[in-house]
Amino acid sequence: MNERIETPTGTPVPSPRTPGEPYTQLRDERGEPMTRGGMEPAGKLGGHAREPLTRTERLLVTMFVTMFATMLAAGALGFTTLSGQMLELQNQMLDFQKQIGELSERMARVETRLTSVETRLTSVETRLTSVETRLTSVETQIQTRLGPAPDTRNPAGL
């Protein structure tokens, strides 16, 4: 774990002799200036010199990254919470659907029974109408043959 890392040729990486001196060589094997990918002039990064971030800038970047990570974590937590609540609501809806199905079946049975009772009542009504007609006929025949019925409420004829 604490082994010394060396370059593939076995020579250690040179360290700067004075502050501000680069770690890399200024010229390559052919003597040409070292550039970044051969696309930019030596010593420039995208046309701008690279300056290290100040302590305040690093603190701001850290705060931004922390806030972003916190917001991301809060969103994930909220999503998880809402997912659990939606799953619970979905289960409740399934229970309600089962209960509504059972009530619907009961209502169908009650409706069948009511239809049966209605049919019976219609039959009874028809029979009562027939009995009423026959009684009226009997009453008419009695009045025709025997005369009007005596008034039973007033026996003295007053």
Bigger pLDDT: 4 or 116?
Answer: 116
Indicate the range of 21-30, 63-72, 127-136 predicted with least confidence.
Answer: 21-30
Tens-place pLDDT, residues 25-68: 677 777 777 666 544 444 545 555 678 889 999 999 999 999 99
Bigger pLDDT: 110 or 16?
Answer: 110
Query: Can you read off the two tokens belonging to residue 51?
Result: 């300056």
- pLDDT > 90: what percent of the chain? 53
Distance from C-alpha of 42 to C-alpha of 93, rounded to nearest angstrom: 69
Distance from C-alpha of 42 to C-alpha of 22, rounded to nearest angstrom: 12
Q: What is the DSSP letter of 22?
A: -
Distance from C-alpha of 51 to C-alpha of 48, rounded to nearest angstrom: 9
Which residue from 5, 24, 4 is spatially nearest to 16, judged by alpha carbons?
A: 24
Query: Can you read off the two tokens belonging to residue 55?
Result: 């302590």
Distance from C-alpha of 122 to C-alpha of 127, rounded to nearest angstrom: 9
pTM: 0.39
139 three-class SS: helix
